[in-house]
Structure formats: C-alpha cells, structure tokens
Chain A
Amino acid sequence: AQSVTQLGSHVSVSEGALVLLRCNYSSSVPPYLFWYVQYPNQGLQLLLKYTSAATLVKGINGFEAEFKKSETSFPLTKPSAHMSDAAEYFCAVSGLKGGSEKLVFGKGTKLTVNP
C-alpha cells in the first residue's frame, strides 16, 4: 500500500526566501513520486515527477525535488520564492492496483508568499 504525509498544512515565506515543502511517503513497491500545484479555483498541474532515474528532479517554475530513499522523503524546494508561487501543493505517490496505476495524494500544503 502507498501513503503520503505532507508536513505542514500551511507554509509562509517572504518573497525571495527559500521555499521548502516536506513530503514523506510509504510504498510497498519502488515509488514513483509527483508534486502537483493548484492555483486558486483551478485544476492540478504537474510540477515534476520522480520515476527512478536521477534522484534530483527539476520541474517547472524553478522548482526541484530530491528523492531521498533512506529518509523516505521527497521534499520540494525553490531557492527564491515569487509572489506567483502562492498556491496549494500536493505530493503524490503512485502505486499499482489490479495492474493499473493509482495516485495517492497527500493532504496538501498551502504556500503563502509575503511581500
């Protein structure tokens, strides 16, 4: 079975500061991991994904995430926050059930960027 825990339902940073959103996962198979972003009143957009290639994954909008197997974590970072980064972020792990792939989502972290 797969599960995801996002640490911190709300994170607040200043514009220009480091963004760090935490995600711990549990998976009974080698995990595939995803970060999605949701802007207000919109659907989810893929930021990046880890699929067992490089452990450091670069995504859109300057975000990146590092697969840390020993810590079972997949933290999302961005060196310098921008006001436009204010959104809700979801970490997800994929698993196989009945031969088809499912995504299990964390509960989300709402990022606020202060001027």
Chain B
Amino acid sequence: NAGVTQTPKFQVLKTGQSMTLQCAQDMNHEYMSWYRQDPGMGLRLIHYSVGAGITDQGEVPNGYNVSRSTTEDFPLRLLSAAPSQTSVYFCASSRQGGQRGNTIYFGEGSWLTVV
C-alpha cells in the first residue's frame, strides 16, 4: 500500500535554480496539498487542489507553482529557488466530497536545501 509518495527525499539547490517536487497518491483522493515545515513554525499550507484541474493558494504560496492534471499527481515547482525556501516539504491527500473530518494522509517528506 504505497499511499502518498514524494520524490526526491533530499535535494540541494543553488539559488536561482528551479526544480519540481513530485507527489503521487494511489488512494483516488480528490484533495491534495503541499505543506512546508520549518523549526518552531509547525506546518504551513503552500497550495492545495480539490480535484484535477483545480488549484488554489494556501498560506505561503509565493515562489511556488502547482498544477493538477490527473487525480494521482500534484507536483510542486520552485520557480527560482531562494535560501528562504530551505525547508521540509510534505505532500498530503484526503477524500473530499464535502465531508468534514476526513483523515489527511502525509508523504514522508522532501528535505530541500538552497545554498
């Protein structure tokens, strides 16, 4: 049972480079999201999607881009990496359907360092 799979697990980027963090889920979940985790800050929502072709901004969207062409995949793009984007990134998914309280399942994280 794969659940939510993120790649890569570790990445070092130079300032100004671009890259894509991949996220895939095999649970047929409508809702997918990206969070970043920084020490003492908890998890903050970057972008989310309620279904293929629909995305929206979260709390800290600047410098990131997303798209949702299929139900399974939700990649996160860093357009021009900055040291402030050094963080641990988590992808998550859940069922939607207008029902509250659905469990959100998390991937194992992607550790990104921007030098």
Contact = CB atoms under 8 A, between A and B. Distances in A.
A67 to B, nearest CB: 12
B106 A44 contact: yes
Contact of A98 (B56, B90, B94): B56
Nearest to A29: B100
Contacts of A51: 100-101
Given A42-B109, A43-B90, A107 B42 contact: yes
Interface string B35-68: 1000011111100101000001010000000000
B42 A90 contact: yes
Interface in B1-18: 4
Interface string B66-97: 00000000000000000000000010001010
B8 to A, nearest CB: 14
Range class of the A interface residue count: 20 to 34
Given A44-B90, A100-B48, A105-B42, A32 B109 contact: no
A17 interface: no
Nearest to B3: A43
Nearest to B56: A98
Interface string A25-53: 00000001010100001111110010110
A43 B108 contact: yes
A49 B48 contact: no
B31 A101 contact: yes
Contact of B103 (A42, A49, A100): A49
A94 B108 contact: no
B102 interface: yes
Q: Give the one of A9, A36, A103 with max B CB within 10 A.
A: A103
Given A41-B109, A42-B109, A51-B101, 16 more contacts: A43-B4, A43-B90, A43-B106, A43-B107, A44-B90, A49-B103, A90-B43, A94-B100, A99-B98, A100-B48, A100-B50, A100-B96, A101-B94, A105-B43, A105-B44, A106-B42
Interface of B: 4, 31, 35, 40-45, 48, 50, 56, 58, 90, 94, 96, 98, 100-109
